[in-house]
Amino acid sequence: MKYFYAIFSVIFSLLLCGCGESETKKLVMVTNATFPPYEYVQNGKIDGIDPCIIRTIAGKLGYLLEIRDMSFDSVIAAVQSGKADIAASGITVTDERKKQVNFTIPYVISQQVIIVPKDSKIRSSEDLKDKKIGVQHGTTGDLYVAENIKEPERYSHGPLAVASLLAGKVDAVIVDSEPAEVYIAQHSSLHILKKPLTYEEYAFAINKKNTELLNKFNAELQKMKDSGELKQIIENYRKAHSDEAGEKTAKADTFYGRLKESFHLNFIADNRYQYLLDGFSNTIIITFCSLLLGIAIGFSVAVIRSTRDMTGKFKVANFFCKIYLTVIRGTPVVVQLLIIYFVIFGSVDIDKLLVAIIAFGINSGAYVAEIVRSGIMSIDKGQMEAGRSLGLSYGQTMNYVIIPQAFKNVLPALGNEFIVLLKETSVAGYIALQDLTKGGDIIRSQTYDAFLPLIAVALIYLVVVVILTKLLGILEKRLKQNE
């Protein structure tokens, strides 16, 4: 056990390096970079109308801008909790959101529109009542449809909703007008209904306590409006992204040609494969370090609980261990991740990678604890009695006799926990961390092609799991030979 603690302590210390560095005049912006032309990833960097406006204002105010990409339904929470200074993600001003954050003056008026296939019988919003409607979760389109039409089919971002429309999973998609233009430029089989669903205003969200930043931004934003600079930025990005999307509409005639073209578009063009490599690297780091932390926590809790069962000691410690197991195993890992990031470390500027390791490590520890405890309790009581009769203390008997045998017995279950942990890290994108799944999402948001990015992500996970399973089998064979 001391080796697990030593290894994790070193890794923990390395990740903490830099967390305490002073970062003066830094402005942290959060967004969901799957909303072209307002925000999207281009050549490994987040670009678009919103980042350009914020970058321009930040430069004028003397701030160093840092942009973080996370799920749309987390950007307001990030500003609320102080994890970010400003949220810019095509955010519509609503009365409910005004209760949570302050908004700058609006910088654009947009509208929610309806995308349908060209051969669809849907002609207006009145025809949507009995239809399946796709929306991006947490958007005003989502709220409007739920309140005025019916419960929609909710997706994490617009491109995924459009992909579902193309696949026939939904009958219509409700999105903002500018991204809608980009989507239909990509797919000639879709079109936008003439009559918009609603009109709305976009603004930037700032923490209610930071009125100084709000006033500064409003002043600069008004200057950009008056000078025409704001209008020029918006028009430039709209035109550039619409032209780029239009250039990608040409399709090859044969299946092989289409597959080759899709492969080039999703992975080769703009070096998009790099998103998968970077995400895979983070996934492996999180999984390995979380496993070490989970084993350290799990073995500790297992020893306390099994000791309580066998000797009656550690009454108080056993009580807290039971609470820990109940809470962690009774709540989803994504909820634990968000609580640790936005609540526990809400006021601390801590590395997101470290937050993910802590969250997944704590979660894994609860399952490892029960796996190891079952292994300890499966060892015949005569083993403990034999160790004690040889003059070994209770602790020595556990360390040298019981735990080695228990570890061998539970190794397959621990290997399975490692595999489960690897796949659970796919929710790390909720805290603006790019894991393997998030890398695939970024590619999909740029190419509007769901098939190949999803297949690539699935294959990478599958290959890693097969390799881990093979290595685990080799280890089991060697342990059996040593018997």
CATH class of 22-106+203-247: alpha beta
Residue given tokens 């700058």 in the structure block = 104
Q: Which pLDDT score, from 0 to 100, does residue 475 have? A: 79
Q: Which pLDDT score, from 0 to 100, does residue 245 have? A: 55
For 426, the token pair is 């796919």
Q: Which of 89-98, 147-156, 402-411 has the lowest mean pLDDT?
A: 402-411
CA 399 to centroid of chain Cα atoms: 39
| pLDDT tier at 228, thresholds 50, 70, 90 | very high
3-state secondary structure of 183: helix
| pLDDT tier at 20, thresholds 50, 70, 90 | very low
Contact in structure between 280 and 433 (CB atoms under 8 Å): no
CA 397 to centroid of chain Cα atoms: 44
Q: Which residues pair with 225 in a beta bridge?
A: none
Average pLDDT over residues 127-154: 90
Q: Does the domain made of 273-481 have the CATH classification 3.40.50.300? A: no
| CA–CA separation, 468 and 272 (whole Å) | 27
| pLDDT tier at 354, thresholds 50, 70, 90 | very high
Q: Do domains 22-106+203-247 and 273-481 have the same CATH topology?
A: no
For 297, the token pair is 């926590």
Span 311-332, pLDDT tens digits: 888 899 999 999 999 999 999 9
Number of CB atoms found within 10 A of residue 226's CB: 9
The domain spans of the chain are 22-106+203-247, 108-201, 273-481
CA 437 to centroid of chain Cα atoms: 8
Contact in structure between 54 and 86 (CB atoms under 8 Å): yes
Contact in structure between 28 and 85 (CB atoms under 8 Å): yes
Span 272-319, pLDDT tens digits: 889 999 999 999 999 999 999 999 999 899 999 988 888 888 899 999
Q: Which pLDDT score, from 0 to 100, does residue 251 have? A: 53
Residue 79 has pLDDT above 90, yes or no: yes
Pick the CATH number of 108-201 from 3.40.800.20, 3.40.190.10, 3.40.50.300, 3.30.110.30: 3.40.190.10
| pLDDT tier at 18, thresholds 50, 70, 90 | very low
What average pLDDT does the structure give for the chain? Answer: 86
Q: Which pLDDT score, from 0 to 100, does residue 244 have? A: 61
The amino acid at 470 = K
Q: Which pLDDT score, from 0 to 100, does residue 21 have? A: 45
| CA–CA separation, 477 and 469 (whole Å) | 12
- The backbone torsions φ and ψ at residue 155, rounded to the nearest 5 degrees and listed phi first, read -125, 160
Cis peptide before 37 (omega within 30 of 0): yes
Buried b / exposed e along 178-209 (16+ C-beta atoms within 10 A): bbbbbbbbbbeebbbbeebbbebebbbbbbee
Q: Helices 273-311 and 451-481 sit at what angle, rounded to 10 degrees?
A: 40
Contact in structure between 77 and 342 (CB atoms under 8 Å): yes
Q: Which pLDDT score, from 0 to 100, does residue 65 have? A: 94
